[in-house]
Structure 1
Amino acid sequence: MEVDERSEDGCTTPKSREFQIPAICACPPPPKKKSVSGRVRDPPKNGYFQPPDLDALFTVFAS
């Protein structure tokens, strides 16, 4: 029984071009920054939310 030369070397990593990791030429550009609209918003028609018991909550903690 004849022993093949490749089996004497044991396992090896494939070295042909098809198995190599391709070189990256340049880094991809950074993600685009989303622009914040410069438009000023009008205040809400019904005013800002103010819970009715908020003042009572703070007086409990202040005591």
Structure 2
Amino acid sequence: MAETVFATLTTELVHTRAWPSGHELETVVFSPIKGFCGPRRRHGRLGNVSPDAYEKTRHESLTHS
């Protein structure tokens, strides 16, 4: 499955235009991934809550203690 994603990404994004810098390409590729997987995706190690929800709960528990 990952191979399909990366093949599509390479074909439809990377090779469709010239990128002035590696940083610009990195931003275009990773921003949507970070935007979804980072703050909102639930993680088993965090009790099946998102990192944002976990941090909010932790902060609230520390400030109310």
TM-score range, shorter chain: under 0.3
Query: Greater Rg, structure 1 or structure 2?
Result: 1
- The structure whose RCO (Cα within 8 Å, separation 6+) is larger is 2
Larger fraction in helix: 2
Q: TM-score, normalised by structure 2?
A: 0.27
